[in-house]
Amino acid sequence: MSHAFRDLLKKVGSGVHTAKDLTRAEAAAATRMMLLQEATPAQIGAFMIAHRIKRPRPQELAGMLDAYDQLGPKLGPIQSPYPVTVLCSPYDGRSRTTPISPLTALILAAANAPVILHGGDRMPTKYGVPFIDIWQGLDLPLQHMPLPQAQQLFERTGLGFIYTPQHFPEAEAMTPYRDQIGKRPPFATIELMWSPYAGDAHLVTGYVHPPTEEMARATYAIRGTHCYTAVKGLEGSCDLPRARTAILALGNPDEPDFERLLLHPRDYGFAGEDAPLEDTPHLVNAMQQVLSGQPGELMQSTIWNGGFYLWRCGVCQTFEAGLALAERMLIGQTVTEKLEEVKAEIADLTLVPLP
């Protein structure tokens, strides 16, 4: 048993009236002890549920992210005309609506705006469709790539993916606890703000509940992260909805405070239903239809999202120009060509032994 961890557990687990917040350094130490399993299983489970009940504070989340930065994988910096965008979505996947982020990522990469996503397999508590299932359906076996090859793919194509079971086994080892406690622990919150990139990045945080956005902004302020986008997205993802107003918070390096942005789909001719989630084969087939330029609700959602991120990442000067460019890229097969390029690079990398 870790006596040092027990002291930290006592602080967060003493009850509603006597529990105390951890300092940033204490939260980092507790997270390291959990990831390295220096704490016992009983201590880890107790901390997760106690911290959830207490509710994590921004300085605690900042410390937990410090530990992720220390122990987790990083893709190295690359030269790019635009900031590297990291799309952070819930690891327990999607269960109601079609994910758009993989298509958004391909659009950005095709526009020379590098992008990174991260995640694992189906995970508690939702066990929804994860990114890796979609990548596999699109013939991108990203789960088999060691980190050096993932780095090479990122450098060559602008598309990066951190697959936690392969690249961050310490975090993956925490997955069974989520199932056993039956609730998302604070680890699920920091995944929405974690950047596996060893350089300045544009972080995109998806969320469901407004307090999560407030906590993310406060955590970013503590950590000196000024370039970010917080999205009240579909199922807490980075995907902008079309059935309701998109609510966003934009943080910019040159501005002292964030900018609130409300995007009404009807104002741009994009009001409609968000595509419901089907089984994975049908989901992948629907995405392939979008990539081939076929019209439909999913195509509209992809243009809506692609247009926003093309504008937000600086590829286009206006949101309207972003929408127009996203549509041209999809109909003109530019995004499909990027997908084929990524496939070819993966095939080439699997034939080249690692140094």
Digit-by-digit pLDDT tens for the chain (355 residues) are: 679 999 999 999 988 778 999 999 999 999 999 999 999 999 999 999 999 999 999 999 999 999 999 999 999 999 999 999 999 999 999 999 999 999 999 999 999 999 999 999 999 999 999 999 999 999 999 998 999 999 999 999 999 999 999 999 999 999 999 999 999 999 999 999 999 999 999 999 999 999 999 999 999 999 999 999 999 999 999 999 999 999 999 999 988 899 999 999 999 999 999 999 999 999 999 999 999 999 999 999 999 999 999 999 999 999 999 999 999 999 999 999 999 999 999 999 876 665 5
Q: Which residues of 62-78 are buried (b: 16+ CB within 10 A; e: fewer)?
A: bbbbbbbeeebbebeeb
Selected from 3.40.50.970, 3.40.1030.10, 2.40.30.10, 3.10.20.30, the CATH number assigned to the domain covering 84-337 reads 3.40.1030.10
Closest CA to 62 of 194, 255, 237: 194
Return the structure tokens found at 64. Answer: 């937990």
Q: Please list the residue range(s) of the chain that carry CATH number 1.20.970.10.
A: 3-71
- Angle separating helix axes 147-157 and 334-351, nearest 10 degrees: 140
Q: Please list the residue range(s) of the chain that carry CATH number 3.40.1030.10.
A: 84-337
Q: What is the DSSP letter of 49?
A: H
3-state DSSP call for residue 112?
Answer: coil
Q: Which fold has domain 3-71?
A: 1.20.970
Q: What are phi and psi of 64, to 5 degrees?
A: -65, -40
Report H helices in 72-174. Answer: 101-110, 131-137, 147-157, 164-167, 169-172
